[in-house]
Structure 1
């Protein structure tokens, strides 16, 4: 099976690299996409969600928090605002962030930025799901 090279990069540096990915599944702002070798060129904004990479029947995941994906026939490059591999995620910290975001969403106080709380909740849930994939 043909493969693509995948790179996940943040402003802090490379988070994930693999030369032999058979399928990359990414969450864009328009929905989920799957990318295999020889995919048409594409540039798309990413949503908060897991990036999944299948290789030899095994799956690797990376928590991706926004950014862009550039797809070329032989390469997928993710330029993420933030990204973490499962072993980099502190599950208890992510759970506390989820609880804080849910509390903010349920409060009826003025001055609570609901959109920001929703984004924090999505980020925490994504990080927890990817961390559990270890």
Structure 2
């Protein structure tokens, strides 16, 4: 018995389908959600959002938001979310370098906090892009 997952941002619906499991980064730590899970409302942090359907794992990069879990469905309202196949690895590497430079040149605590949040977001994007690339390389072998 699957659980229905819907992932949306302010701009678009990213995903809507029945899945077997969801693994999400929350303020309390990583949580795994299976069908018939107890109701839960959680704040998401930057990290990899993993979805398992039919034994296949699909990674997403999420940068925050909220997750509502009910026994038969999950709704994720994300600040930003990207499928692994939407992320260009070389552009993600460039974004990480720029965020590191921003952090190094921060002049105030507020600038430092913003730069560190940007760096976390870009590092997650790069990590998820690399998961996608590793899967492609394994498929070629």
Q: Give the whole-Å Cα distance in 2 for the aligned partners of 1:7 and 1:95.
A: 29
SS in 2 for 1:40: coil
Decide whether the 8 Å contact of 1:50 with 1:62 is kept in 2: yes
Kindly indicate which of the two structures has a greater share of residues assigned to helix. 2
The residue number in structure 1 matching 2:11 is: 12
CA distance in 2, matches of 1:75, 1:51: 16
Paired residues, number:
131
Ranges in structure 2 where 5+ consecutive residues have no aligned partner: 133-141
Aligned match for 1:47, one of 15, 33, 45:
45
Q: Runs ≥4 in structure 1, deviation > 3 angstroms?
A: none
- Provide, for residues 49-87 of structure 1, a one-character-per-residue CA deviation record: whole Å limited to 9, x for no partner: 111011222101111111100000011110001111112
- Return the offset for 1:9: 0.3
Alpha-carbon offset, residue 104 of structure 1:
2.6
**CA distance in structure 1 between the partners assigned to 2:38 and 2:108 by the alignment:** 45
* Structure 1 spans left out of the alignment, 5+ residues: none
Partner in structure 1 of residue 34 of structure 2: 36
Determine helix, strand or coil for the equivalent of 1:99.
helix
Whole-angstrom CA distance in 2 between matches of 1:7 and 1:65: 16
Q: 1:59-70 maps to which residues of 2 (within 5 A)?
A: 59-70=57-68
Q: Contact 1:97 / 1:120 at 8 angstroms: preserved in 2?
A: no
Greater share of strand? 1
**Which residue is equivalent to 1:116?**
114
Q: Deviation per CA, 1:13-57, whole angstroms, max 9, x where unpaired?
A: 1111221x1110000011110000000111111001111011222
Cα separation, 2, equivalents of 1:4 and 1:130: 23
